[in-house]
Homo-oligomer: A and B are copies of this chain.
């Protein structure tokens, strides 16, 4: 059973997981290591431990790596192969890491995290995988203390899920940003879109996104599409064209 955890990283994922762990009676965050002294110290304060710029020698049941995908291989390599290690990436495959750890796992929370914006972890799907069945069980037991939705998923499926998450969160959010910027440029109050945005999601759930589609591209309404394109420039115009093309293609099948 995992009772003590060391955390590497102090970004958004680390921040939310540590905030969850500190509320668990049977789990203790022992240390927090981060290249960034400011965010590392802030997070150490939440966990009530000392910040350290290098990995401490204190033995823990699990080292949880919450760093950018680019850095995971190097960080895992710097930890003794006998230590139990997991990382929080959606995309990095266990098999492709060039390391010799006997207990190497994935602890991937499928959610968008920003420091200071609370998230109910209990609704967040946690996707678990490891190279050792006993360790997988331990990671699942740990995740189950945070969330009611814990599943095993292999690296290949997790990567595909991450891609779907990028479309449905990162890209959706960016479109909302572009819409708000467009209103701002035209001196229109931004709140006017809120009922539409809320209904967009409600409708996609109640029907499904295929049935829920509406608008000029769905109707292949060329007058409106070209009138809109005339108002746009740069990347906004390219995005308008490309998604319109994709919608037209979807409904002409």
Contact = CB atoms under 8 A, between A and B. Distances in A.
A236 B242 CA distance: 10
Contacts of A124: 195
Contacts of A164: 179-180, 182-183, 188, 193
A119 B212 CA distance: 13
A144 interface: no
A112 B196 contact: yes
Contact of A200 (B112, B160, B193): B112
Interface in A182-219: 182-183, 185-188, 192-201, 203-219
Size class of A's contact patch? 35 or more
A91 to B, nearest CB: 5
Contacts of A23: none
Contacts of A179: 164-165, 167-168
Given A212-B112, A214-B12, A214-B112, A178 B228 contact: no
A27 interface: no
A182 B200 contact: no
A235 B242 CA distance: 8
Contacts of A100: none
Contact of A176 (B209, B219, B242): B209
B204 A243 contact: no
Contact of A114 (B161, B207, B232, B247): B207
B110 A192 contact: yes
A10 to B, nearest CB: 14
A39 to B, nearest CB: 14
A224 B188 contact: no
A201 B194 CA distance: 10
Among the interface residues A157, A170, A235, which one has the most CB atoms of the partner chain B within 10 A? A170
Nearest to A192: B125
Report, nearest first, the 6 A-B pairs whose CB atoms are least far apart: A170-B215, A177-B209, A168-B179, A160-B186, A167-B179, A164-B179
Given A168-B175, A168-B200, 7 more contacts: A114-B203, A114-B214, A159-B227, A163-B228, A164-B180, A172-B176, A177-B209
